[in-house]
Amino acid sequence: METDLDEKRAVTALAALAQETRLALFRLLVQAGPAGLPAGMIAERLAVQPSSLSFHLAQLVHAGLITQRRAGRQLIYSAEYSAMNALLVYLTENCCGRDAISAPLCDPAAGCCPATAAKTPAA
Amino acid sequence: METDLDEKRAVTALAALAQETRLALFRLLVQAGPAGLPAGMIAERLAVQPSSLSFHLAQLVHAGLITQRRAGRQLIYSAEYSAMNALLVYLTENCCGRDAISAPLCDPAAGCCPATAAKTPAA
DNA sequence: CCGGCAGTTCGACGATTGTTGAACTATGGA
DNA sequence: TCCATAGTTCAACAATCGTCGAACTGCCGG
């Protein structure tokens, strides 16, 4: 389902999220669901200047983490869940040397990586 | 298990990962498992200058994504899986307005968010 | 066609980031 | 004690980032 990321795309996505306003913005859209939110409402909720918001929205769009669509005079933004999932998977890829996994959470101490788990004395 | 993140800690973690060398470094450690790798071997594998590597290692340590321990003259670095998991959970928190979830992967089109899934016509 | 609202684009500024090489600290062996 | 190895710290530099205000574009109502 989600397209695999190469290193550069992953860096772009992470850089897009590595900023207070954009992280709050992205999470707002993740929580808003596929219906998304118009730019104006986002600006209001995050108390950000329109021009600044536009800048951040563009970064997230460029990173592929959100998408834009028009509804009358408003521009609606919504989270791109597949891109988010691809990023999560990329970060945890081959966790502890295992073969590919699809669900990213990884906890060696709890048996995520049987081969190496014994070497982690609950530290 | 994993400590919840506040916004600033999340931004720090994401910023730490939003750089080619550091992302490669982190993934290398994730794949290396809890045993970790000495700085020298990391430098060799990533073909990075020692002083530059030190800089990046420090950022990841500061972000809480990796930890350092000494073994003789070597400094061994290993991934902090709980921090990584906390970050993944933070990103997907309240996905589509749902209550907390523990496994981060989120796909509205596939029923992750029943209430809103119908509004996404396979677009 | 005109006014105005929703959002974006632009240029300029200060702040932060990543790199490099040289000097420094710490550990282990002889 | 002296030396070599493993890694870190420091200062300086170019490059990139985030913010601001002002000007701009696109869309709708009348």
Cβ–Cβ under 8 Å, residues B97 and A33: yes
Of A90, A68, A65, A62, nearest to A80 (Cα)? A65
- Please state the domain extents for chain A: 7-83, 98-123
Cβ within 8 Å of B, A 23-82: 23-24, 26-27, 30-35, 81-82
pLDDT of residue A74: 97
pLDDT of residue A83: 95
- pLDDT lower than 50: segments of chain A: 114-123
Cβ–Cβ under 8 Å, residues B107 and A85: yes
pLDDT of residue A112: 63
B116: pLDDT strictly greater than 70 = no
Quote the distance between the C-alpha of residue B7 and its chain's center: 15
CA distance B37 to chain A (A): 12
List chain B residues with CB under 8 Å of A86: none
* Architecture category of domain A7-83 in CATH: Orthogonal Bundle (1.10)
